Structure 1
Amino acid sequence: MRQLFGFLLLFATAAPLSAAEIHDDIDADTGWQVITAQAGQTKIRVVPAAGFNVFSIEHAGRELLKTPPALADLPGVSYGVPLLYPSPNRVRNAQFTFDGKTYHFDANDGTNFIHGLVHNVPWTVRRTEVDAHQAVIEAELVFAPGTKHYAAFPLEHTLRVTVTVRPEGVSWKYEVDNTHGKSKVPFGFALHPWILYQGERKNTFLTIPATQWMEAENLLPTGKLVDLEGTPFDARAAKSLEGFVIDDVYSGMQSDHPTVADFRDEGIQLSLDASDDFTHLVVYTPENKNWFCVENQTCSTDAHNLYQQGLKAESHLLVAEPGETLSGTVNYRIRDARGHKFSRWEKAIRKFEAQDRQHPPAAGGTLFVGSSSIRFWDLPKYFPDRPVVNHGFGGSQMIDSLYFADRIVLPYQPRTIVVYAGDNDIAGGQSPETVAKDFQRFARKIHAALPETKIVYIAIKPSLRRWNLYEQMAKANDLIAAFAETDERITYADIATPMLNEQGTPKPELFIKDGLHLSPAGYELWTSVIEPLLPRAN
C-alpha cells in the first residue's frame, strides 16, 4: 500500500495540528479512496470501497488493529473492523426463512454462510464533518435491485453507518432505514475487530460482563442459554487470555457494562460499550496469534434460524418494519489505565501552537521536549548558533511527550529531538520499566513519521530533592541506554555521572534552592554534554 504522506505535508511550515481533521488520499495500487480522520491522539483510516472498513486505529502512536499488508487485501473480514450485516457470523446451511420467504446465500464456511454481505462491497460516503472535538464520516449502502447484496437479501432499504473519531476513541452508529420499504427487514448488525495484543498475552486481561453463554455445536448455537457461574467461559472478573482459547457467543450484555481489554504490560485499556440493542458478544481468542476478536452483536450467531424456531429472545433478531428506522451505537474508548490526565496540559500545548503560528520555526532544527528541566532551559543562550525549539512543559511525564507528539513534535520535522522526561514519572509512582516502555513508544512514533530524525535522550538526573528515588531512576536510565544501543538513531546522554560528587551524591551547586531544578551551573554542565551530540550547525 502506498504510504499516506498527506499529514506531514500539511505541516511542512510547522503549522500546529487542529483538534480534529479529515483528509483523503488515493491508494496508487487499488485506486481506492483512503480517508484519514483524527481527533486529538486518536487517528483512523477507512476505505469506503472495501466495505467501509476502519482498518487502522492509532492512539497516541500505537496501532490497535491488525492491518492488511496491502490495501488490496482489505475486502473481507480478516483485517481492521469489518461490518457484519444482515447476518453476523454463521448462518446454518447458508439459508434462513422469515415470514414464509426463504433467503439463500453462497456457502463460504463449509455448508454455512458467514459474516454477511456488506464487508466486501463499495459504500458511498454521504457526509464528512469536523469540529473542535470530533471528526465524522457517514456512509451508506443501498439495497436496491441490480446490486449483488440485494440479490442475496432482496429487501429494499438502506444501511447507514456513521463513524465518529474523538480524542478518547471511536464510535460506530448504524441505521437500518426502512422508511421507504414495503417489507419487514430482519437483521443483525455487528463489528468484527481484529485487536492486536499490546504486550504479552498472559498480561492481557478481558472482562466480559455477560450473564449467559450460548451452547453451540460446530460453532452454531443450539439456542440453549447457560448461566456463566462455574463455567470455564466466565470472565465477569478480569481473566487472563493466557490459556483462554474460545470462539463462543455470550448473551445478556448491557449498555452500562462495557467489555474491557486490559493490556497490563502497556498500561492501557480498551473499553467496548454499546447501546442496549447489542445484547450479544462473540469472543474469538485463538492460540499462537498476535490478535483476538471481541465482536459486539445485536443478535446471536444464526439469529434468523433461531428466530424461526421460536427462540426470539435468545436470538434477539431485530426487525425494521416498513416506514421504520432502527439504530444503535458501539463505542471503543481507549484510556491510560494509570488514570493519567492529559487534559491538564492542553493550555500549555495550545500556547505552543499559538506562538508557532505567529512565528513558525523552520523545519530541520533541534527540538527540545519534556518536563520543566527543558522548559527552564534558556536554549537561545546556551545554543546561540542553532535553530532550537523549546517545547518543555513543567510537571509532564514521558507519556505526555508521546501523547502530544503529533502536535508539538512531528509537525516541526526536526532534524534532532532532545528529550528529558522520566523524573516526574518515577516521583509519581511509575516503574522504571514503564518509563522505558513509554520512551520506546515515543521513539517508534517519531521514527514511523520521521525515519531520519535523531533522538537524544537525556538521562534522568540525580537531584537533592529526589535522591531517595534515584535507585529507581538509575534503573530506568539503564533500560533506556540499553534500548538506545539497538538503534543508531538514538543516543543516550549521560548527564547523571558528572552530576555526582566524589561521595556519589548530587553536587549541590548544580541546583537552585528547591533542590530539584537546575542552576545556571547545572545547565552549563548539561549543555557541555548535549552540544557535542548534536549535528553540526549549518
Structure 2
Amino acid sequence: MTIKYAAYEEKYKGERAVWLKYDRYEAVLLPELGGNLIAFRDTVSQYSLLREPAEENMNDFKQNPFEYGIPVLFPPNRYEDGKLAWNGKVYQLPVNEPATGNHLHGFLHAVPWTVEHYEASEWESSVTISVKVAEGHSVYDHFPHSFTLRIRYTLSSLGLQQQVTVQNDGQDSMPNLLGFHTTINVPFVPGSTAQNYRLKLTIGERRELSSRQLPTGKFQPLTAEEVQMKNEGVYPFFAEMDNHYTSEPQNGRNRMELTDTANDVTLVYDVGTAYKHWMVWNNFGREGYICPEPQINLVNAPNVNLPAEEIGLIALEPGEIWEETSRLYILHR
C-alpha cells in the first residue's frame, strides 16, 4: 500500500530526523544538526532537489553544513573583523574565516533545535522547529538578545513551504539578520547534465565587494551572462560566482527558476519579497550544485553607512514578530 501522507521520526544516516511524506514528495529535517532541512525529493520522478551528504560524507557535512540542504544563517554572511554594531554597542562575533578576518554565517546552523510538533493529514504533512535564545544560551554570549526563531516546513501538493517567524522576547530593540544557504543539485534530474540547465534569478544590481568579500557601497555593471540570468536564464556555471545582488522582484515575485531544458522541468524557489538581497555561490564554477541564498540584509549591514531600509537592517522592537514564507516546487513545462 502506498503511503499518501506521513510525518514521523526515523534515523537519517545515523542522525535523529523528522521525515515528511505527501503524495510524490518527501522531505527530511535534522533538528539536532542546526535544524537543517537536508532533503527534498520527488519520489515518483526520482528528483533529488537539495544536495544531501553521502553516508561517507556525514563528517564533512557536520564540519561544513553550508553546502548541504537548507542551513539557517543568523546572522548571514560576513561581518568585518567579527564586529556587529547596533544601537551604539558593538558585539564581538568569533572571527571564523581566517582568510578574510571576518565572522561568517552566524550560529544557528550549529546548535540543536527543538522539535515542537509534527503531523500529517490528507491536506499536508508538516514539522515545526524552534530555537529560543536567552541568557545562558551559547548564542547569547555573542548576540545578547532574547528571541525565538521558529520554522514550519510543510509538504503538500504545492511542494515544500517554509514559514519563518522571528520574535523579540527581550526588553531591547534587536537587529533581525537572517538568510538561508540553500544548496540545489545541478542536475536534479537523473541522467541529465548540468549543461542542460538554465538559471533565472530576480536580481537587481550587483554589489561591489572588497578583497575581504565585504560591500564597498558601490555597484558594478552586470555582465552579459548576468543579464541573461536576470531575464531568459543562463548556464549556472558560466563563471565562478560568489556574488552579492539586490533583489528585484518580477511579476510581484522574488524567486529562482532552475530549468532542465532537456526534460522541460523547472524547480522554482520563491523566497518572498522580504528577502531584499541575494548571494549566489556556485562552488567555484564547478558543476554539481549551486547556492541561491536569500537574505533579509546586505552583507555586513550593521557596519555599513547606508539607509537601513536599503540594506535590510530591520529592527524588531520588544514583542514584535517578523515573518516570511518561501516555497520550493516543480513546474513541468
**TM-score higher than 0.5:** yes
Alpha-carbon offset, residue 103 of structure 1: 1.0
Alpha-carbon offset, residue 122 of structure 1: 0.2
Alpha-carbon offset, residue 232 of structure 1: 4.7
- In structure 2, the residue matched to 1:245 is 240
Kindly indicate whether the alpha-carbon contact (under 8 Å) linking 2:241 and 2:285 is maintained by their aligned counterparts in 1.
no
Structure 1 stretch 297-306 or stretch 95-104: which is displaced more? 297-306
- In structure 1, the residue matched to 2:61 is 74
Question: 1:360-389: CA deviations, max 9, x gaps?
Answer: xxxxxxxxxxxxxxxxxxxxxxxxxxxxxx
The CA distance in 1 between the partners of 2:254 and 2:146, in whole Å, is: 35
Of the three residues 230, 235, 249, the one matched with 1:236 is 230
Distance 1:226 1:316, change over 3 A: farther
Amino acid across the alignment from 2:35: F
Kindly indicate whether the alpha-carbon contact (under 8 Å) linking 1:50 and 1:74 is maintained by their aligned counterparts in 2.
no
- Which residues in structure 2 correspond to 1:82-121 (within 5 Å)? 82-85=71-74, 87-110=75-98, 111-121=101-111
Which has more helix, going by share of residues? Answer: 1
Amino acid across the alignment from 1:302: N
Of the three residues 145, 168, 176, the one matched with 1:155 is 145
- Which residues in structure 2 correspond to 1:497-508 (within 5 Å)? none
Kindly indicate whether the alpha-carbon contact (under 8 Å) linking 2:84 and 2:93 is maintained by their aligned counterparts in 1.
no
Question: 1:17-66: CA deviations, max 9, x gaps?
Answer: 22x2111114574xx42111011211111110001101111113221122
Of the three residues 34, 41, 52, the one matched with 2:17 is 34
- Which residues in structure 2 correspond to 1:509-520 (within 5 Å)? none
- In structure 1, the residue matched to 2:184 is 195
Amino acid across the alignment from 1:247: D
Amino acid across the alignment from 1:69: A
Percentage of matched positions with identical amino acids: 23
SS of aligned partner of 2:50 = coil
User: Is 1:281 aligned to residue 288 of structure 2?
Assistant: no
Kindly indicate whether the alpha-carbon contact (under 8 Å) linking 2:126 and 2:153 is maintained by their aligned counterparts in 1.
yes
- In structure 1, the residue matched to 2:289 is 291
Distance 1:316 1:149, change over 3 A: same
Alpha-carbon offset, residue 216 of structure 1: 1.1
Distance 1:37 1:297, change over 3 A: same
Question: 1:301-347: CA deviations, max 9, x gaps?
Answer: 212222xx23423321221111211111121112223xxxxxxxxxx
- In structure 2, the residue matched to 1:522 is none
- In structure 1, the residue matched to 2:264 is 267
CA RMSD of aligned residues (A): 1.9
The CA distance in 1 between the partners of 2:306 and 2:296, in whole Å, is: 17
Q: Given the two structures, how large is their TM-score scaled by the length of structure 2?
A: 0.88
SS of aligned partner of 2:141 = helix
Across the two proteins, how many residue pairs are aligned to each other?
Answer: 315
The CA distance in 1 between the partners of 2:322 and 2:35, in whole Å, is: 20
- In structure 2, the residue matched to 1:326 is 322
- Any stretches of 5+ residues in structure 2 without a counterpart? none
User: Is 1:49 aligned to residue 43 of structure 2?
Assistant: no
SS of aligned partner of 1:150 = coil
The CA distance in 1 between the partners of 2:76 and 2:13, in whole Å, is: 32
Amino acid across the alignment from 1:186: P
Of the three residues 293, 299, 302, the one matched with 1:301 is 299
Amino acid across the alignment from 1:134: E
- In structure 1, the residue matched to 2:41 is 58
The CA distance in 2 between the partners of 1:223 and 1:171, in whole Å, is: 34
Amino acid across the alignment from 2:141: A
| Structure 1 residue runs of 4 or more that deviate by more than 4 Å after TM superposition | none
Question: 1:127-172: CA deviations, max 9, x gaps?
Answer: 2122212111111101112221111111011111111112342121
User: Is 1:185 aligned to residue 174 of structure 2?
Assistant: yes
Of the three residues 187, 196, 200, the one matched with 1:207 is 200
User: Is 1:22 aligned to residue 7 of structure 2?
Assistant: yes
The CA distance in 2 between the partners of 1:103 and 1:256, in whole Å, is: 35
Question: 1:252-310: CA deviations, max 9, x gaps?
Answer: 3335242211122333211111222111111112222411111111112212222xx23
Kindly indicate whether the alpha-carbon contact (under 8 Å) linking 2:128 and 2:153 is maintained by their aligned counterparts in 1.
yes
| Larger relative contact order (CA 8 Å, sep ≥ 6) | 2
Of the three residues 195, 209, 223, the one matched with 1:216 is 209
Distance 1:103 1:231, change over 3 A: farther
- In structure 2, the residue matched to 1:366 is none
User: Is 1:258 aligned to residue 251 of structure 2?
Assistant: no
SS of aligned partner of 1:293 = strand
Question: 1:162-201: CA deviations, max 9, x gaps?
Answer: 11112342121111111x3101120221111221112322
Which has more strand, going by share of residues? Answer: 2
- In structure 2, the residue matched to 1:347 is none
The CA distance in 2 between the partners of 1:73 and 1:45, in whole Å, is: 18
Q: Given the two structures, how large is their TM-score scaled by the length of structure 1?
A: 0.56
Kindly indicate whether the alpha-carbon contact (under 8 Å) linking 1:37 and 1:43 is maintained by their aligned counterparts in 2.
yes
